[in-house]
Amino acid sequence: MKRLLCLSLFIAVPALAAEPTDADRIKGTWIVEAVRVNGRDGDPKRHSWVGEPITFEDGFMRFSFFGKSNTYKIDATTTPRRLDITLPKHPPAGKKTLGALPVIYKFDGARLSITLGITNEEDRPTSFDLAAGPPFFHVTLTRAKH
């Protein structure tokens, strides 16, 4: 009787859903909502990323500005959280390759914020302070609607 009662309680309790990991949360297509350079709105003539899609899927990132064959790796164990983007070593004709971009990221509700260096790819941002330097891009993205 006790075994039957224990078994019925086990079956009656719904399984608790596991909290999604950052790797799960970042997957899919995001749309660039805003670009700021050191706290100022980006120059639309130079940074026309607003409205552009960025897709993260299975370790690959697609973004028209960086080309198609980019890889990414997430480290959610650090503060701030890290996102490393590796760009192709052989860029399309006429485009400069940047190599690896050390990025920080955070989720804010339905938004994803990323901050990356502009002039020195080796400098990883240490905060989301919009006025912090050296020159940083601060990019806000929202999940694409299907």
Q: Going residue by residue through the chain (146 aa), what tens digit of pLDDT does each one get?
A: 555 444 444 455 555 778 999 999 999 999 999 888 866 665 655 567 889 999 999 899 888 766 666 889 999 999 999 998 887 665 555 555 556 788 999 999 899 999 987 655 567 888 888 666 667 888 999 999 87
Q: Report how many domains make up the chain.
A: 1
83: in domain: yes
Q: In which element (H, E) is residue 5 found?
A: helix 2-12
14: in domain: no
As given in the structure block, the two tokens for residue 33 are 């909502």
23: in domain: no
- Boundaries of domain holding 98: 29-143
Of residues 63, 66, 82, the one with CA closest to residue 125:
82
Name residue 115's beta-bridge partners.
Answer: 104, 138
13: in domain: no
84: in domain: yes
16: in domain: no
> What Cα–Cα distance (Å) separates residue 18 from each residue in 15, 21, 24, 89, 117?
9, 9, 11, 38, 34
129: in domain: yes
